[in-house]
Structure 1
Amino acid sequence: MQTSFLTEAHSYLKLLQEGFTDEALETVQQLASDLLEVWTSGNQVLICGNGGSAANALHIANDFHYGIGACGNGPFIPGLKVEALPSNPAIITCLANDTGFENIFKLQLQVKGQKNDVLIALTGSGNSENIVRAIKYSRELGMRNYVITAFDGGRCKKIADNAIHIPINDMQIAEDSQLLIAHICMQWLNKNKPSTIKPLK
């Protein structure tokens, strides 16, 4: 017997909303503040993730690169310096083939990461080895790091400086939450554009 579509839809949306605890939103607020600081200082944001989280990393990079400065009221200004680390298949396949898949993000940070940059790590389970290594290495570089994770938070929740934990045992809700968090930050940043950045003509 088929279950009711509307029942399933309402259940899904209810779980999605319940995942955004006050604790999680406080850390989202901290992320937004750090992104504003990076935007003003000219530092960069690096984003990593696997599978659906990799796709989300590309989506978020697009929003932060263009949307935050171009959308809404106020001047059209340049967005954040941002890169999604899963975006270049030549780099990913080279590093995976030569050094192991567990190093595909860490080795990019060795070249691209700098002190006071921000790493945003996306992982549903919180246990992906390449994400764990990226977070650990970001700390060595003096980067600020955030992980957005679900389920029990996994290893990443324990090692990240800032964990946005959505305590829901559902991978689709985990991945939806990543985009929601980014879009919340995007809209807030769009309404708080730095006045020190010269508008584009």
Structure 2
Amino acid sequence: MSILSYLEESRRVIAASESHPGVQAVDGAVALIIEALAAGKALLVCGNGGSASDAMHITGELVGRFLKERKALNCICLSSNASVLTAWSNDYSFETVFSRQVEAYGQAGGVVLGLSTSGNSANIIKAFETAHALGMKTIGLTGEGGGAMAAHSDVLVDVPSRSTPLIQQVHIVLYHYICEHVEAAMLGR
């Protein structure tokens, strides 16, 4: 595939996203995050592989800054603590590595944002189950249809594609939108 073909395919997925109901749900995700942060509750973010990097990116934008100078926002990346990830996975289970951290950091009224291009990441599903047991809300950022995460997401933002790299490209656009709108709403609070 040439670069022009790849760019055209990328444009096609972005264009399809414009009217996709799952992508339109992004404003619902923004509202949940603002509500939690305004109440002093944390946004917990997790993902595996490239989505773990995206989880760190989101956290960096919200703890640091996106576009505006402001106070730090209460956002924790569950994918970034190597000691927790490796100790818990080695001694117990990789499937529960995020749910264990939700148990540690989660509070009723908080939010867990999970990124998975397939929507079938068992450790994110377990994290969502733990979040619901604690009275937290969940946001799934996935590929087309949401996979198994769809049933566990209070807000599902699914990208109309099954291609991991193309889904991740749209995820970047979506979470930058989320960061911009959350930051604007929290500015001055």
Normalising by structure 2, we get a TM-score of 0.92
Rounded to whole Å, the distance in 2 between the matches of 1:193 and 1:48 is: 22
- Tell which deviates more after alignment, 76-85 or 102-111: 76-85
Give the percent of matched residue pairs that are identical in Structure 1 and Structure 2: 25
Normalising by structure 1, we get a TM-score of 0.87
- Tell which deviates more after alignment, 40-49 or 150-159: 150-159
Out of 110, 113, 125, which is 1:117 matched to? 110
Rounded to whole Å, the distance in 1 between the matches of 2:185 and 2:130 is: 31
- Secondary structure of 2:25's partner? helix
Rounded to whole Å, the distance in 2 between the matches of 1:135 and 1:185 is: 20
Which residue in 1 is equivalent to 2:47?
Answer: 49
- Please tell me whether residue 63 in structure 1 is matched to residue 61 in structure 2: yes
Which residue in 1 is equivalent to 2:38?
Answer: 40
Higher-Rg member (1/2): 1
- Tell which deviates more after alignment, 186-195 or 49-58: 186-195
Task: Structure 1: give runs of 5+ residues left out of the alignment.
Answer: none
Task: Structure 2: give runs of 5+ residues left out of the alignment.
Answer: none
State the shift of 1:22 in Å: 4.3
Which residue in 1 is equivalent to 2:76?
Answer: 83
Mapping of residues 1-201 of structure 1, within 5 Å: 3-68=1-66, 71-72=67-68, 76-195=69-188, 197=189
Q: For the Cα contact (< 8 Å) 1:153–1:165, is it kept in 2?
A: yes
Q: For the Cα contact (< 8 Å) 2:140–2:146, is it kept in 1?
A: no
RMSD in angstroms over aligned alpha carbons?
1.7
State the shift of 1:133 in Å: 0.6
- Secondary structure of 2:27's partner? helix
CA distance 1:159–1:148, change in 2 (3 Å) = same
Rounded to whole Å, the distance in 1 between the matches of 2:29 and 2:16 is: 20
- Secondary structure of 1:104's partner? helix
- Secondary structure of 2:79's partner? coil
Matched residue pairs, number?
A: 189
